[in-house]
Amino acid sequence: MRFVALATVPSLPLVGLAQWRLQSSGTQERLRAVSAVSPTVAWASGNRGTCLRTTDGGRTWRALNVPDADSLDFRDVEALDAHTASLLSIGPGERSRIYRTTDGGRRWVLQFRNRNPQAFFDAMAFWDRNNGIAVGDAINGRLVIIKTSDGGVSWNEIARENIPSALPGEGAFAASGTCITVQGTNNVWIGTGVKAARVYRSLDRGNSWTVSTTPLADESESSGVFSVAFWDRNHGVVVGGDFRKEAVARDNFALTTNGGRTWTSVGHSRPTGFRSAVSFFVRGRMATLVAVGTTGSDFSSDGGISWRTLDTVGFHALDIAPATSVGWSVGEDGRIARFEGRRLTTRR
């Protein structure tokens, strides 16, 4: 979202964390997105054209050069493997761009450059190597949504008439690259904010949409849904709140059991403050959720019914690799930490 910036995460030492393992990123830049491919491969991105990659579980992170991108703020990275990844930069007009590499970051192709001076793109997601979708803030009362079916070689805007009308000022938050998520081969959800806290849903790769309200904070320009995650077509979670009230532990998460048609806050506990990203891993039939934000991190081992604090060290973004319990979080001053769900314990 063009006029919203998250509060600065305090630079705190990672002390007493059984599951967060601080790693050396080799940069002091603010990191705003991460994409975990496997327990050994992950990509991260941030401001001033920063893009990093590890292929050894985070023991080393290599800085990658994206040509002519030193001034860009890469708020989303979506990786398919150790070689292929897409980067999305945010900003008005031509500052919103999408790049892709297929050789581990040695070369990058500028696949999309936004030509609309009113448009501001926030995040993207990919179902597979070829099919992806990206969302931008509303123009003339409707979100701007583009999609690709050829691996990003071409991006085409979805017909505006197929997208529900936006509320006044409604848009998506470019906070962690996770305000949009996909599941299966066709499903996609988008969380919004700015005096709104809604979720747009499409079951046909974005060709048609419905929208539903959530109980998340929606009273200000700094509040709403910041992150969406689904572990199957019916069960999902949204997190957010108000980043200007980062310590407020209410109206900051909701669950759905019907694919996003309705959302509810259940249980007797909440994440302990504003949360900008949520991810998950599945044990048996139950999803374990992990949420991060500027005041710390929390987890739920029962699909979001109850939450417990992990720690008070702040992060901006989080991703857990598919079919594993290993992931990474990123934040201020180049902070990167590895997460291992098998070691999940609360701070004593």
- With beta carbons less than 8 A apart as the criterion, state whether 279 and 319 touch: yes
Strands 42-46 and 31-36: antiparallel
What 3-state DSSP class applies to 331? coil
pLDDT for residue 342: 75
CA distances from 189 to 116, 204, 228, 301, 302 (A): 24, 11, 7, 23, 22
Distance between CA atoms of residues 77 and 267, nearest Å: 33
What 3-state DSSP class applies to 282? strand
Beta bridge partners of 298: 291, 309
| Token reading at 212 | 């539903």
| Token reading at 259 | 């694919």
pTM listed for this prediction: 0.94
| Residue given tokens 């929606």 in the structure block | 218
Q: What is the pLDDT of residues 3-50, one digit of tens each?
A: 445 444 444 444 334 478 999 999 999 999 999 999 999 999 999 999
Residue-averaged pLDDT of the chain: 93
Domain ranges of the chain: 20-343
Which top CATH class is 20-343? Answer: mainly beta
pLDDT at 344 over 70: no
- With beta carbons less than 8 A apart as the criterion, state whether 336 and 329 touch: yes
SS (H, E, C) 124-185: EEECCCCCEEEEEEEECCEEEEEEECCCCCCCEECCHHHCCCCCCCCECCCCCCCCEEEECC
Burial class (CB in 10 A: 0-12, 13-18, 19+), 209: buried
Distance between CA atoms of residues 214 and 251, nearest Å: 9
pLDDT at 219 over 60: yes
Q: What is the pLDDT of residues 123-181, one digit of tens each?
A: 999 999 999 999 999 999 999 999 999 999 999 999 999 999 999 999 999 999 999 99
- With beta carbons less than 8 A apart as the criterion, state whether 263 and 239 touch: no
pLDDT at 227 over 80: yes
| Residue given tokens 């310590």 in the structure block | 247
pLDDT for residue 345: 54
Q: What is the pLDDT of residues 69-123, one digit of tens each?
A: 999 999 999 999 999 999 999 999 999 999 999 999 999 999 999 999 999 999 9
End-to-end Cα, the chain, rounded Å: 37
